[in-house]
A and B are shown apart, each in its own frame.
Chain A
Amino acid sequence: MTHTLHRTGDIESLNEDFPMLTHVARGYNDIGAGERLKEMAKIARKYTDLNFGDCKVANKFIMPSEEIMEKHTVGWQVVFKDKKSLIACMKELKEKNIGISVVVSGLFDEVFECCQKAGITPPLIEFALGIHGNKDKIWPPEILDFVTMCGHGLVSGHLVKKMVEDIKKKKITIKKAALELAKPCLCGAFNPHRAAKLLKKMVVR
């Protein structure tokens, strides 16, 4: 339900993190949706190449994007790091009026500003009301910022720690470590640009 909700982080970091997803509505616009999703994916990928994926298929770090696009069934994900590209993409998607639902996640103030500039009036929003329960057992905030970039929980906190250790030992570069962390998140909602910045902070720390 909520795979791009509940992303944790400070405002500065979240200001470079805007996942976008498309989803067909079963029984309403799913017939022949593959071609429509492909057309929309082509538009989105003009504006961002950070990530791209389909949780029933793969993300671009484990399968070529063109191959993923041939296999779309219910939707895809991309992620933006800046509002300028996001606004341009939103504008084009609105103009092309292809008819499949689009959801953008991120800081509400920023996303609403983007909507306004793109001439879009959002009909519905979803809030995250926090984490509850046995919170002592969850990852500390600096790890949680990575883990929550995959809403399905497929990015392991242990892998984050391993990547940090490997960077410190010069076994892997920050960029490659960020891409390694992006691989398990099949949907393509993980933001490797943000991950690289977070890794850099952790290595310095």
Chain B
Amino acid sequence: MRIDRDKCVGCGRCVSYCPVGAIQIFRDGQNPKKKKSRIEEDECVECGVCLRAQVCKPQAIYLPELDWPRVVRRAFSDPMVEHKETRVPGRGTEEMKTNEVTGRFKRGSWGMAVEVGRPGFGARLKDLEMIAMALAKISVVFEPRNPVTFLFEDVKTGKLKPELRNERVLSGIIEFEVKPEQLKPVLEVLKEMAGKVESVFSVDLITHPEEEEKGPALKIVGKMGFPVYPNGKVNLGLGRILNK
């Protein structure tokens, strides 16, 4: 996002809407008595919140044409952008939301996701790469339909296309399945990564309902010292195949 310096009246109404604090007020060099708003380009994740907030009366905020690799910021920050590879808006896949129809997660394995930059902080993609590469070393296979997977130069190692490493996004999701014997090593890697990343990450686990409280997955999670929130997502199983 950009702010047209000539149109900006320096009211500062846009500042608080930015989720990553990338808008700042500064004194206009040409006229030090006047203030202007400015978007720190390196910090901006191109989420579009400032523009959609419609708080800029002179309409100084605009979305410029974004080239590669900057366009990746928008794809992983603005949910109105549908990823051309997955055709799913947002940052992930249908995952457990449609599982009763697609049968993607079967008994005997668990779905996992590591959302880098969440909650409300954002992340450089190099953090995501660091985690992905560490997971790849223990034979984690990344979900081929997740948009993050399309950013890898080498999907087997988790190495990103080099020009993407410094791009900043609201969040990116590393998505994969684990067999029961893989869960502990995966959590060990995530513990190690927690001490290395500049940003933050949130971890998800998808299981069948019998896992709740007494299942082996949650036992492993508990032993590894990971918290389990009392709230989460429940698929109601109301979907079915309708396409002829």
Question: Do A and B come from the same complex?
Answer: yes
Interface, chain A (partner B; CB < 8 A): 1-8, 11, 14, 21, 23-33, 36, 55-56, 62, 74-75, 90, 93-94, 97-109, 111-112, 115, 120-135, 137-139, 144, 147-148, 151-159, 161-162, 183-184, 186-187
Chain B residue with the shortest CB-CB distance to A111: B234
Contact A99 B233, beta carbon cutoff 8 Å? no
Given known A123-B208, A133-B201, contact A148–B230 (CB-CB < 8 A): no
0/1 string, B219-244, CB within 8 A of A gives 1: 00100001111111111111111111
Interface, chain B (partner A; CB < 8 A): 15-19, 21, 47, 49, 52-53, 77, 79-80, 82, 87-102, 105, 111, 113, 115, 117-122, 127, 146, 170-171, 173, 175, 190-191, 193-194, 197-209, 211-212, 218, 221, 226-244
Bound CA span A7–B88, Å: 22
List, in ascending order, chain B residues with CB within 8 A of A122's CB. Answer: 209, 234-237
Contact B17 A99, beta carbon cutoff 8 Å? no
Q: Smallest Cβ distance from A101 to chain B, in angstroms? A: 3
Chain A residue with the shortest CB-CB distance to B23: A158
**Residue among B15, B79, B117, B208 with most chain A CB within 10 A:** B79
Chain A residue with the shortest CB-CB distance to B171: A153
Q: Smallest Cβ distance from A83 to chain B, in angstroms? A: 13
Contact B201 A132, beta carbon cutoff 8 Å? yes
Chain A residue with the shortest CB-CB distance to B207: A125
Q: Smallest Cβ distance from A25 to chain B, in angstroms? A: 4
- Which of A99, A111, A138, A148 is B200 in contact with, Cβ under 8 Å? A138
- Which of B91, B120, B197 is A138 in contact with, Cβ under 8 Å? B120
Contact A6 B229, beta carbon cutoff 8 Å? yes
Chain B residue with the shortest CB-CB distance to A23: B97
Bound CA span A11–B53, Å: 31
Contact A162 B243, beta carbon cutoff 8 Å? no
- Which of A31, A109, A154 is B47 in contact with, Cβ under 8 Å? A154
A2-B204, A74-B89, A129-B227 are known; give 10 further A-B pairs, CB within 8 A: A29-B240, A99-B239, A103-B233, A105-B232, A138-B121, A153-B118, A153-B171, A158-B18, A159-B17, A184-B17
Bound CA span A22–B173, Å: 20
Contact A156 B18, beta carbon cutoff 8 Å? yes
List, in ascending order, chain B residues with CB within 8 A of A107's CB. Answer: 230-231
List, in ascending order, chain A residues with CB within 8 A of B80's CB. Answer: 55-56, 186
List, in ascending order, chain A residues with CB within 8 A of B95's CB. Answer: 1-2, 126
- A selection of 5 A-B contacts at a CB cut-off of 8 Å is A2-B92, A28-B239, A29-B239, A108-B212, A144-B120
Q: Smallest Cβ distance from A122 to chain B, in angstroms? A: 5
List, in ascending order, chain B residues with CB within 8 A of A138's CB. Answer: 119-121, 200
List, in ascending order, chain A residues with CB within 8 A of B200's CB. Answer: 131-135, 137-138
Contact B229 A101, beta carbon cutoff 8 Å? no
List, in ascending order, chain A residues with CB within 8 A of B122's CB. Answer: 153
Q: Smallest Cβ distance from A53 to chain B, in angstroms? A: 10
List, in ascending order, chain A residues with CB within 8 A of B197's CB. Answer: 133-134
Q: Smallest Cβ distance from B225 to chain A, in angstroms? A: 10
